[in-house]
Amino acid sequence: MTSEKTVLITGTSSGLGLATAIGAAQAGWTTIATMRDTGKADALLKAAAEHDVADHIQIKRLDVTDPESITACLEEVIAEHGRLDALVNNAGAAHIGTIELIGVDEVRTAMEVNFFGVVATTRAALPHLRASQGRIITVTSVGGVVGQPFNEAYCAAKFAVEGFMQSLAPVAATLGIDVTVIEPGAVASEFVANLNLDLPTTLAAAGPYAPALEAYIARTRQSFGNAQTPTDAATPIIDALTSDRPPFRIQTSPWARDFVSTTLADLDGSAVQALTSTWVR
């Protein structure tokens, strides 16, 4: 791979997106690192300098929920670099809540960021990826395979992304475009912290759901205490970016592989229900 290859990555201000931008630049790619608020680029700029890849990284604004922002960013990339060889859909937002408490509007908001943002960005990038016979790499989650308590909106969006990409993959392949989904487990980043969850207030408002929610949050905090580092989780993304023929589905750790296999080998759904029911008791 040479610096002539260009990749656009969404959601690079922190965590997995930041680590992926650094890894792509280290692999020799011209890396278009995008974020909704470029005022939050300091951490990426610092990391790029520390890893001596600042010359390979260009920061641009892209809000995946704003079609005009997506179009403007891609037009700039093509005008400045003449090509796009890969898209990494990484931008997303965590969401905790159950449907009776959060309402439909919150579900729609979660879907806009985590699903429709991926759809819109992918659609805009496809003409350029057809020209380069490039690839689409989309960060979903183990939550896109295994539904998890108090994550109805988030998992619904990630399941939708997996279905969208699995359906797109054979069609895109006829045009020389590879499609891959990346399924991380817990990643030590600001992703969950960005929920701004006020636990006492949240539990007080949870009514009859409070005991189950408290059990779930305790379990989740423990799992994130043993999370992968963003750099470790980004390694399979860079492998998918640089390999000749990446597979469709990649998990970022042995734990993630074991976890998603619960569903993939669970024909009647009982194994997943048996597992996740223990998280709320």
pLDDT digits (tens, 9 = 90+) for 85-143: 999 999 999 899 999 999 999 999 999 999 999 999 999 999 999 999 999 999 999 99
pLDDT of residue 1: 37
The average pLDDT across 155-162 equals 97
| Percentage above 90 pLDDT, the chain | 79
pLDDT band at 159 (very low <50, low <70, confident <90, very high): very high
Domains and CATH numbers, the chain: 6-273 (3.40.50.720)
Model confidence over 230-245: pLDDT tens digits?
A: 999 999 999 999 999 9
Whether 278 shows a pLDDT value over 70: the answer reads yes
CA distance 158 to 144: 4
**Residue linked to tokens 């408002």:** 205
Nearest of 86, 33, 45, 37 to residue 66 by alpha carbon: 37
Q: Which residues are catalytic?
A: 154
| Residue-averaged pLDDT of the chain | 92
pLDDT of residue 196: 62
Q: Is 62 left (phi over 0), alpha (psi -120 to 50) or beta?
A: beta
pTM score:
0.91
pLDDT of residue 225: 67
Model confidence over 27-80: pLDDT tens digits?
A: 999 999 999 999 999 999 999 999 999 999 999 999 999 999 999 999 999 999
Whether 21 shows a pLDDT value over 70: the answer reads yes
pLDDT band at 195 (very low <50, low <70, confident <90, very high): low
pLDDT band at 2 (very low <50, low <70, confident <90, very high): very low
Query: Which has more pLDDT, 108 or 194?
Result: 108
Q: Which two tokens stand for residue 43?
A: 């951490």
